[in-house]
Structures are given as structure tokens and as C-alpha cells.
């Protein structure tokens, strides 16, 4: 059975921190491929969200030079609000020979109870968690144990965290600052060619 890592998100824009998580998952040997899942209409992030086709294009540019990484358009192609549990259900049907491992940050693990049908999410996939700078490791591991008691399969990735956020990148763009080392060069070129994130004002 193929072991597939999944990373969902608005990717508004995708950045080097996302790619670092993907590389860490591959280096761990837990997964043999990582699929990025840009969301067309995420339930929690709408203000200041660039068009889904721009975010898809940036994701494809970001992974073009990465080994064993690709972009899945499942959440771009669907209409309506997109929930992870629905995506997992569909992918299980489309890719029956695969076992899925969803890549998340520790903050997302702590918010897992707010997801739509979290009990089904942990039934449909395992979770690979990356700690970020400043995270409370004890609290995060306690939350992981609570979910394990409910049947979740949770592993922690030994990745070097990168203190990069899409919010910070958008702020730098609005102030005309460089994105060197924050996003892949083709992504920065695309952002500037398309004039993205220049006049949206405040963002969530």
C-alpha cells in the first residue's frame, strides 16, 4: 500500500515553510509522496483570499522542482465550502491502494476538535504533526494523547521549524519588501507579474 502525505490549506501564498514540511515528511520515510491540496473555498479563511486559480498556479510552481511532491486539484475542482473530511472520503474512493497521512502544524492539532466530523477524519487518515517556533510541546503532546485515546494515529515529525507565515509574506508584499528565502523564486516572480496581494488591505 502506498503511503501518501497530504497537506491542505489555502496556500495564500504557498511558501518555503510548506515545502519544508513536505520534505520532512518524505525524509522521515513515513510517506513516499506528498500531495498539496489548495482549497478552492476554505471554511475558515475567506478575507483577502486570492483567486483559487492563482493559488493553484503558485502551488504548482513551488513543487515543480521538488522530488516526490505534486499538487492535487480535488479541492479546487469542487464547488461550495470545502471540508477535509469530504476530501478524504473522495480520495479514499479514487485512490484505494493508498494510505493517507495528513500533515499539520501543532496549532492545527489543538484545533482539530473544531473540524467538521473530526472522528471521521482520524478514521480516514493518520496525522503527521510538525512543531512550530514557540509551540507548547507539553500541551500539544497532551492533546495528541487525547486523540490517540479516541483512535487517532498521530506521529511527530523531526523537522526544523521555519518561522514563516503567509500572513507575514502578504504584509511584506504590501510594504514592497523582498521575499527572498520565504517563497520559491518562481512563486515570487508569479506574484509580482500578476500583481497579487498589493491592494487587499487588512487580512485574516
Kindly give, in sequence order, each residue whose CB lies less than 8 Å from that of residue 187, ignoring residues fewer than 6 positions away: 13, 14, 15, 58, 61, 62
- Percentage of residues of the chain with pLDDT beyond 70: 95
Q: What's the confidence (pLDDT) of residue 48?
A: 80
- pLDDT surpasses 50 at 57: yes
Burial class (CB in 10 A: 0-12, 13-18, 19+), 176: exposed
Using one digit for the tens of pLDDT, what is the confidence trace for 135-184?
889 999 999 999 999 999 999 998 877 889 999 999 999 999 999 999 99
- pLDDT surpasses 50 at 201: no
CA distances from 42 to 23, 27, 49, 110 (A): 24, 29, 10, 19
**The overall pTM is greater than 0.85:** yes
Spatial distance between the Cα atoms of 85 and 68, rounded to a whole number of angstroms: 24
Taking all residues of the chain, what is their mean pLDDT, rounded to a whole number?
92
pLDDT band at 44 (very low <50, low <70, confident <90, very high): low
Q: What's the confidence (pLDDT) of residue 116?
A: 96
Q: What's the confidence (pLDDT) of residue 61?
A: 98
CA-wise closest residue to 120 among 141, 89, 98: 89
Amino acid at each position: 500500500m502506498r503511503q501518501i502525505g497530504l497537506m491542505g490549506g489555502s496556500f495564500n501564498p504557498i511558501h518555503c515553510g510548506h515545502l519544508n514540511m513536505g520534505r520532512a515528511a518524505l525524509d522521515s520515510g513515513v510517506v513516499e509522496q506528498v500531495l498539496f491540496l489548495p482549497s478552492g473555498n476554505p471554511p475558515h479563511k475567506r478575507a483577502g483570499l486570492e483567486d483559487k486559480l492563482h493559488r493553484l498556479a503558485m502551488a504548482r510552481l513551488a513543487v515543480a522542482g521538488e522530488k516526490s511532491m505534486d499538487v492535487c486539484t480535488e479541492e479546487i475542482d469542487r464547488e461550495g465550502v470545502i471540508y477535509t473530511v469530504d476530501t478524504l472520503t473522495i480520495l479514499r474512493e479514487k485512490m484505494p491502494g493508498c494510505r493517507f497521512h495528513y500533515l499539520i502544524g501543532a496549532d492545527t492539532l489543538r484545533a482539530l476538535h473544531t473540524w467538521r466530523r473530526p472522528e471521521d477524519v482520524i478514521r480516514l487518515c493518520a496525522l503527521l504533526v510538525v512543531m512550530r517556533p514557540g509551540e507548547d510541546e507539553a500541551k500539544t503532546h497532551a492533546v495528541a494523547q487525547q486523540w490517540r485515546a479516541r483512535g487517532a494515529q498521530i506521529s511527530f515529525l523531526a523537522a526544523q521549524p521555519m518561522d514563516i507565515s503567509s500572513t507575514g509574506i502578504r504584509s511584506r508584499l504590501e510594504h514592497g519588501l523582498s521575499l527572498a528565502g520565504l517563497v520559491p523564486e518562481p512563486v515570487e516572480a508569479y506574484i509580482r507579474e500578476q500583481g497579487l496581494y498589493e491592494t487587499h488591505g487588512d487580512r485574516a
